[in-house]
């Protein structure tokens, strides 16, 4: 049995992926598109998709799961004091926020009924720069959804939902590209003989 140079390169890159990036198989999810929720007083909140999961994650309650769901939260007023996130087929095991520059931290969080509740002090949830995440174990299918409930004092809570997609990870995409190049080089070497 002959071992080809391209095969050795592909196996080496896969081994490097396993050794150097043990968390590379954890998946990050976000919304497919923005979800806007408006209450009876005109307070509006928008939950948006996240282009990447770069930044420092700070767990508020619970534990880190194998995968993470991330949203950016923007509000036109400081009226909202609660944002709840639940996933259709997964139980949330942890809740947190990004503590990177410009991020507004919730005053607290709790795991309730398979989802997470984030609490804000009055006036804190305004503008953008509020990136929240929940952790869970398992995986989500592309057609699954996330549900949100928001509440402002003196107003009825309102809810909405949106479809979930994977967050593209540049490192993983680069490694896949290198693997394809290695396979092409190996095939090219075989065809030139």
What is the domain-level CATH number for residue 61? 2.60.40
Q: What is the pLDDT of residues 140-153, one digit of tens each?
A: 655 578 899 999 88
Asked if residue 30 belongs to a domain, the reply is yes
Asked if residue 67 belongs to a domain, the reply is yes
pLDDT at 63: 82
pLDDT at 4: 56
**Do 71 and 84 contact (CB within 8 A), yes or no?**
no
Q: Extract the residue ranges of the chain whose pLDDT is less than 70.
A: 1-25, 53, 100-102, 139-143, 168-193
Asked if residue 8 belongs to a domain, the reply is no
Q: Residue 59: CB partners within 8 Å, gap ≥ 6?
A: 94, 95, 96, 135
What's this model's pTM, rounded to 2 decimal places? 0.72
**Do 76 and 43 contact (CB within 8 A), yes or no?**
yes
**Do 67 and 80 contact (CB within 8 A), yes or no?**
no
Asked if residue 1 belongs to a domain, the reply is no
Asked if residue 122 belongs to a domain, the reply is yes
pLDDT at 186: 64
Overall number of domains in the chain = 1
pLDDT at 116: 94
Asked if residue 14 belongs to a domain, the reply is no
Q: What is the pLDDT of residues 60-95, one digit of tens each?
A: 888 877 888 999 998 888 888 999 999 887 889 999
pLDDT at 21: 40
Asked if residue 4 belongs to a domain, the reply is no
Its domain, for residue 78, covers 26-169
Asked if residue 131 belongs to a domain, the reply is yes
């Amino acid at each position: 049995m002959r071992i080809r140079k391209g095969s050795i390169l592909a196996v080496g890159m896969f081994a490097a992926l396993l050794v150097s990036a043990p968390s590379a198989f954890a998946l990050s999810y976000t919304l497919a598109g923005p979800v806007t929720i408006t209450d009876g007083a005109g307070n509006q909140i928008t939950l948006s998709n996240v282009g990447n999961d770069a930044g420092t994650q700070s767990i508020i309650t619970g534990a880190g799961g194998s995968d993470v769901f991330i949203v950016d939260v923007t509000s036109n007023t400081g009226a909202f004091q609660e944002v709840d996130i639940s996933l259709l087929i997964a139980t949330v095991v942890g809740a947190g926020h990004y503590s990177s520059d410009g991020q507004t931290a919730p005053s607290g969080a709790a795991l309730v009924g398979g989802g997470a509740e984030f609490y804000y002090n009055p006036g804190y949830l305004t503008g953008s720069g509020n990136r929240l995440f929940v952790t869970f174990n398992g995986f989500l299918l592309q057609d699954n959804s996330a549900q949100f409930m928001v509440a402002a004092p003196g107003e009825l809570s309102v809810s909405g939902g949106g479809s979930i997609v994977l967050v593209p990870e540049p490192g993983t995409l680069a490694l896949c590209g290198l693997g394809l190049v290695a396979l092409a080089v190996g095939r090219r070497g075989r065809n030139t003989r």
